[in-house]
């Protein structure tokens, strides 16, 4: 086992950090101001909302759409995003729309929400389709971002058989579509393919240490077979593929009920409840902000590199440190409560991002501190509106 460095200082104690006000890469047209993105999920005014006397909220019909770049038909891609109404997918859709592309979102709304993409509904370059990727789907596209799969433990353990079917049949269907249309295919895999790793940090060449019959296996092994399918289609059918292994990600539009530590801690702190940690809190994780991940996905899709690429933040924190940071930002009076450890919960998780730096010229730009503040602001806004 590789000896690891001690975890970083707490997120709220970071020093010499730079505030990020612009994201994306000008070379591929994905650069955009943070202010434009914030206007989509942290509006400055309530112009599109009507607060009634009883405290409920009515959303008015949107008259205009967010401004986007205009591309000539020859430069505009027709892009399919499965799971595009979810947390990660909706932010990816925002960026692709900003870039001027035509975007089709496929979602069964098990974990996604129409509200995440409601600001695009009716736009001439946007289409939202209610569909389960377990069933085949026919359309003409030039790129496919395949994100559809429940990714949080409460969701993927709710129906483990369906989770496996989504990973396997959904990936087969989307790879078949890519084969037929000659579209470039990007699979969003996960750091969970490394299981409870014996290598730290984890390189893409590490084969993993996964329990194939544990309660998390429906997701972990499902993603591993999805990667196998992806490279089988590349070798056998010459499908142009990309694979992103995504590490812990947080940001606005996270589901408050998804069971992940960031959303759990923020919601518990807002409600004045104890912050619950499973285990002793010494487990470490590396958390990246959503806009950094979207940058990485778009770069990977538009670069010629075909091997798996880790996308994650190399700043490592214990779960307890993260809980303390969120508590201090929301309500310093709430206690922290330790509960029995979850089965097969990895003790350490940290990416080696050498490939991403070398082949994509990508690395995280947002400090955890800046990302946490935006995420907390979003959760507070949702709570004030009664949306959560």
Secondary structure (3-state) at 343: coil
> Is 206 known to be catalytic?
no
Q: Which residues, other chains included, contact 27 with Cβ-Cβ below 8 Å and sequence gap of 6+?
A: none
H helices of the chain, in order, are: 34-41, 87-98, 153-158, 160-181, 217-237, 261-271, 290-301, 319-330, 354-355, 368-384
CA-nearest of 20, 23, 3, 5 to 315 is: 5
CA angle 307, 310, 313 (to 5 degrees): 160
Q: Is 240 exposed, middle or buried (0-12, 13-18, 19+ CB in 10 A)?
A: middle
User: How far apart are the C-alpha atoms of 199 and 350, rounded to whole Å?
Assistant: 10
Our CA dihedral for 382, 384, 387, 388, rounded to 10 degrees, sits at 80
Question: In angstroms, rounded to a whole number, what is the distance separating the alpha carbons of residues 268 and 333?
Answer: 12
CB-side neighbour CA atoms (13 Å) of 271: 13
N-term to C-term CA, the chain: 42
Q: CA-based angle 280:364:88, to the nearest 5? A: 75
* Dist. CA 254–CA 261, nearest whole Å: 11
Contact 335, 274 (CB under 8 A): yes
Angle at 95 between CA 93 and CA 100, to 5 degrees: 95
Which is the catalytic residue, given 41, 194, 219, 233? 219
Which residues are known to be catalytic?
Answer: 219
């Amino acid at each position: 086992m590789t000896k690891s460095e001690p975890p970083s200082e707490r997120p709220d104690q970071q020093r010499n950090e730079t505030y990020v006000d612009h994201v994306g890469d000008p070379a591929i047209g994905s650069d955009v101001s943070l202010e434009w993105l914030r206007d989509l999920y942290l509006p400055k005014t309530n112009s599109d909302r009507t607060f009634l006397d009883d405290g409920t909220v009515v959303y008015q019909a949107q008259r205009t759409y967010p401004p986007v770049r205009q591309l000539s038909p020859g430069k505009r891609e027709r892009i399919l995003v499965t799971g595009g109404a979810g947390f990660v997918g909706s932010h990816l859709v925002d960026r692709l729309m900003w870039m001027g592309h035509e975007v089709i979102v496929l979602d069964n709304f098990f974990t996604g929400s129409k509200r995440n993409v409601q600001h695009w509904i009716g736009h001439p370059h946007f289409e939202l389709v209610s569909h389960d990727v377990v069933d085949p789907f026919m359309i003409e596209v030039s790129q496919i971002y395949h994100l559809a799969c429940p990714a949080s433990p409460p969701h993927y353990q709710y129906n483990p058989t369906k989770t496996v079917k989504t990973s396997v049949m959904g990936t087969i269907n989307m790879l078949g579509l890519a084969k037929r249309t000659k579209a470039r295919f990007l699979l969003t895999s996960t750091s969970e393919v490394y299981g409870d790793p014996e290598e730290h940090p984890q390189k893409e060449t590490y084969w993993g240490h996964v329990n194939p019959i544990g309660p998390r296996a429906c997701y972990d092994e499902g993603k591993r077979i999805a990667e196998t399918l992806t490279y089988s289609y590349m070798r056998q059918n010459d499908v142009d593929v990309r694979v992103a292994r995504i590490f812990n990600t947080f940001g606005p539009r996270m589901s408050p009920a998804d069971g992940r530590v960031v959303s759990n801690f923020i919601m518990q702190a807002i409600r004045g409840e104890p912050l619950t940690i499973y285990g002793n809190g010494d487990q470490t994780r590396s958390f990246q902000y959503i806009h950094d991940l979207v940058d990485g996905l778009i770069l990977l899709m538009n670069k010629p590199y075909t091997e798996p690429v880790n996308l994650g933040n190399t700043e490592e924190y214990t779960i307890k440190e993260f809980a303390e940071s969120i508590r201090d930002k929301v309500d310093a009076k709430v206690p922290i409560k330790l509960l029995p450890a979850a089965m097969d919960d990895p003790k350490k998780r940290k990416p080696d991002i050498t490939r991403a730096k070398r082949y994509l010229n990508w690395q995280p730009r947002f400090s955890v501190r800046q990302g946490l503040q935006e995420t907390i602001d979003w959760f507070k806004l949702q709570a004030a509106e009664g949306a959560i």
